[in-house]
Amino acid sequence: MSERAAGFARMRILQAVVVFIFVLLGARLIYIQLFDSRYKELAEANVLYHEVQYPPRGEVFDRNGEFLVQSQACYDVMVVYREINKAGFDTTRLCSIIGISREKLDKELANARMRPRAARLVSNFISKEDKLRFDECNFEGFYTVYRTVRQYPRKVGGNLLGYVSEVNPEMLKRDPSYKVGDYIGMSGVESAYESVLRGKKGVRIQEIDTHGAIKGSYLKGAYDSLPEPGKNLISTIDARLQLLGEELMQGKVGAAVAIEPSTGEILMMVSSPTYDPDELVGKQRGNNYITMQNNKQHPLYNRAVKARYPPGSTFKLVQGLIGLQEGVLVPSNTYPCYQGYQVGKLHVGCHSHSSPLNLVEAVANSCNAYFCYVFRDILDNRKYHSTKTGFDVWKEYVDSFGFGRKLGSDFLGEGKGYVPDRGFYDRRYRGAWNSLTVISLSIGQGELGCTPLQMANLAAIVANRGYYYIPHIVKKVEGQDSLDHRFYEKHYTKVDAKHFEPIVEGMWRGVNVAGTSRRAALPGLDVCGKTGTAQNPHGRDHSTFLSFAPRDNPRIAISVYVENAGFGATVAVPIASLLEEYYLTDTIKRPDLLEQMKTTTVYYPSYDK
């Protein structure tokens, strides 16, 4: 090979090297500029600063237009480190105005120093008055941002209304529309209606440089938006009734729920012990929350919708209704009761009353034996050939009353209660069980569990003679003509309206003539009611009362459940009666009883363990 040809060959190889290098660079450029979209996002993250403008959160009114929850202006104090007066400023004064310690201020300033031109939060929940004082002092480099904070003029309905807190990291992951520093409803109405209450954040997108200093508006504000305030809610709650309910339930553990039967609107929902909702607001929220979490009586647990209580004798109403509908019972049937119901060795006790009784009297006097007979007749009905099939039929009826499932209210975290099914007993007794095995269900004991909301709903069903509207806590959302259509539908039970009369008669007689609920009587209001005394493994019997008034065109249906308060008539009945009196007449003519019930406290050894 000649020298020239060799040189030429080498030139070719070098040209190939050159081409290879340029192709390598070009390919890499094509990849990062065309195919790898992450750099565009990173570039925006670098340069765009989303200055958030927070909307005021929607407010909540009670059914009479009174404030339940108010949104009050408060301010976050921010700092831009570079703009702080280098000559120094009155730190003591600043600390006292914005309510933080000197150490906290130093810590925040040290952090702010890392990005001296970027805004950083120093302190939050500054009141309007403090903000005015702050503005007067004119601290260079510090400024305030408008936020809103919740305030509760009536100081009622802690668990009912719920509380608001800053979003936590898990929520951020679940819902990317929230950003760090946003507030979110954590429970109760705040959580259930979060989407309407929160409003829409406004944003001013600005371009920043590498030091965080603002350089101007992004695309002349084309993507900027103004904040949209959250929508107001009109709640179905009657604030005064709620307040009275909470006062009456003081010192007791339990729940009281009142429903307007003709609409399903929840008038009152008390879970006791409750707390002052203002305690879960502002700087002290975290500390108070932990204190409440450690409280052995669990004030943060909403018993009204979550607790699963044995309904006790109030459940006899359901047994009677099923018996009538199934035709195994006619109102004139009488059954004997000699201090209880006895079959062989099995004995269900009863209190002393005359015997035998018909249905109306059995309801009025809450006879255990009577409903044992009824229950067994339902289960052992010949037409179903087996007790177990009879049990299935019975369960279908019970389910139609809203037991053993969520009612579908607008309240999040609603409990299901529990109604055992055939499979449950088959497993427990390995298939060998009959109507006697499950006899405690007849008087609302055994495995049965109901939430106070379900029991109030039962009162509403009886008041309506056979149907209910799904209970709900919001009457109207600002800007919306109606609620979800499910709240306007009548939900019928499987029992015909005509079968309700003898039951209602019994409830009326129990209150107004002779029976267990005599203390609930209110002249001229025709109160109907059914007491319950539920045995439980935790101590004394639970005291419960289920009632509605007036007898015709009822305006209120109520369920009161007080844990370990003993006989139904002693605690639950007067509480329900006072609430009905107050709601229906706006006054209370029995101040002594009111005072007595407010000061009644029940001793709870089981909660102190």
Partner 1 sequence: MISSRHNTIFDGVDRGTVLLYTLLVLVGCISIVSASFDDASTDIFSFSHYYMKQLVWVGVAWIAAIVVLLLDDRFYHMFSYPAYIIGIVVLVAALFFGKEVNGAKAWFEFGSFRMQPVEFVKIATALALARVMSDYSFSINSAGDLFKVGMVICVPLAIIVLQNDTGSGIVLGSFLFVLYREGLNKWLCIPILLIAALFIVSFLLSPMTLLMMSILVCTLSEAMMSGEWRSRIIYLAGLMGISILFYLLMGLIAPGAMDLYHCLLSVSLSSLALVAVYAFRTRLMNIFITMGLFLISMIFLPTTDYIFNSILKQHQRDRILSFLGIISDPLGTDYNVNQSKIAIGSGGFAGKGFLHGTQIKYGFVPEHHTDFIFCTVGEEWGLLGTLTVLGLLCALVFRLIRMGERQEEPFGRIYCYSVAAILLFHVLVNVGMTIGLMPVMGIPLPFLSYGGSSLIAFTILLFIAVRLDASTRQFSLKPKN
The 43-62 site mask, x for binding partner 1 (CB under 8 A), equals xx-xx---------------
Residue spans of alpha helices (H) in 114-227: 128-137, 158-161, 169-174, 188-192, 194-197
Q: Which stretch binds partner 1 (CB under 8 A): 4-12, 430-438, 503-511, 536-544?
A: 4-12
Interaction between residue 30 and partner 1 (CB under 8 A) = yes
Interaction between residue 22 and partner 1 (CB under 8 A) = yes
Least Å from the CB of residue 109 to partner 1: 21
Least Å from the CB of residue 481 to partner 1: 46
Interaction between residue 1 and partner 1 (CB under 8 A) = no
Among 93, 113, 215, 490, binds partner 1 (CB under 8 A): 215
Least Å from the CB of residue 416 to partner 1: 49
Residue 428 contacts residue 286 (beta carbons within 8 Å): no
**Residue entry with tokens 């914005």:** 98
Q: Which is nearer to partner 1, 23 or 137 (CB)?
A: 23
Query: How many other CB atoms are there within 10 angstroms of residue 10's CB atom?
Result: 10
| CB-based contacts of 53, cutoff 8 Å, min separation 6 | 146, 201, 202, 203, 204, 226, 227
Least Å from the CB of residue 116 to partner 1: 14
Least Å from the CB of residue 225 to partner 1: 21
Q: Which stretch binds partner 1 (CB under 8 A): 9-17, 136-144, 196-204, 596-604?
A: 9-17
Q: Which is nearer to partner 1, 70 or 217 (CB)?
A: 217
| Residues in binding contact with partner 1, number by CB under 8 A | 37
Interaction between residue 113 and partner 1 (CB under 8 A) = no
Q: Which stretch binds partner 1 (CB under 8 A): 33-41, 60-68, 261-269, 363-371?
A: 33-41
Residue 550 contacts residue 525 (beta carbons within 8 Å): yes
Element (H, E) at 374: helix 368-379
Separation CA 166–CA 140 (nearest Å):
28
Interaction between residue 207 and partner 1 (CB under 8 A) = yes
Interaction between residue 29 and partner 1 (CB under 8 A) = yes
Q: Which is nearer to partner 1, 109 or 213 (CB)?
A: 213
Interaction between residue 24 and partner 1 (CB under 8 A) = yes
Least Å from the CB of residue 80 to partner 1: 17
Among 42, 110, 330, 497, binds partner 1 (CB under 8 A): 42
Phi, psi dihedrals of residue 119, rounded to the nearest 5°: -75, 140
Dihedral Cα 212, 216, 219, 222, nearest 10 deg = 100
Task: Name 257's bridge partners.
Answer: 269, 559
Interaction between residue 138 and partner 1 (CB under 8 A) = no
Q: Residue 499 burial by CB count (10 A; 0-12/13-18/19+): exposed, middle or buried? A: buried
Question: Which of 516, 503, 508, 526 is closest to 573 using CA atoms?
Answer: 516
Interaction between residue 484 and partner 1 (CB under 8 A) = no
Interaction between residue 114 and partner 1 (CB under 8 A) = no
Residue 314 contacts residue 532 (beta carbons within 8 Å): yes
| CB-based contacts of 217, cutoff 8 Å, min separation 6 | 204, 205, 206, 207, 224
Among 1, 16, 28, 529, binds partner 1 (CB under 8 A): 28
Residue spans of alpha helices (H) in 48-187: 91-98, 102-112, 128-137, 158-161, 169-174
- In Å, the largest CA–CA distance within the chain is 134
- Residues within the interface to partner 1 (CB under 8 A): 6-8, 10-11, 13-15, 17-19, 21-22, 24-26, 28-30, 32-34, 36, 38-40, 42-44, 46-47, 207-211, 215
